[in-house]
Amino acid sequence: MVDIRTFPRGEVVAAERDTTAADLASRMAEEGVGSIVITEDDQPIGIVTDRDLTVEVLAGGEDPTSVTAEDVMTEDPVTADLEAGIFEVLSRMEEAAVRRVPAVDDDGKVVGIVSFDDFVALFGRELEKLGNIAEAESPAYE
């Protein structure tokens, strides 16, 4: 079974629970990411997404300089062990209805992040290979 060891993007954008929503949004913009993993001792304790900031802070009329990551984060985020199979991770993402999961090592420390987009890209490449095989074995199209 193929595991997710090669999937995680190694540079995880992380912050502490007392980081303000304004600072989180700025970091997301600077880093070009849609989520920030909230860590304590390098272990994920939460995750904040751009949607969390939009819905909870902006639409909620909150002051982004006083709301913290702890106020809006999803606690105890779904994580993926590096040895987990891709379909196991996809199932966990589906069950939790999440698009991003921190990848953790044997000590539970964040070593990367796996996203829905990573899987779409993988399956797209694999489907292209299948299409090439099918075309090679089929009569030519006119």
The one-character DSSP state at 85 is B
Q: What pLDDT does 137 receive? A: 79
- Split at pLDDT 50, 70, 90, the class of 68 is very high
Q: From its phi and psi, is residue 68 left (phi > 0), alpha (psi between -120 and 50) or beta? A: beta
With beta carbons less than 8 A apart as the criterion, state whether 2 and 85 touch.
yes
Domains of the chain: 14-114 (3.10.580.10)
- Split at pLDDT 50, 70, 90, the class of 2 is low
* Burial bucket for residue 88 (CB in 10 Å: 0-12, 13-18, 19+): middle
For 72-120, write each residue's pLDDT tens digit. Answer: 999 999 999 988 988 999 999 999 999 999 999 999 999 989 988 888 8
Q: What pLDDT does 122 receive? A: 80
Q: What pLDDT does 33 receive? A: 92
For 31-49, write each residue's pLDDT tens digit. Answer: 999 999 999 999 999 999 9
* Burial bucket for residue 53 (CB in 10 Å: 0-12, 13-18, 19+): buried
Extract the tokens encoding 30: 């600077």
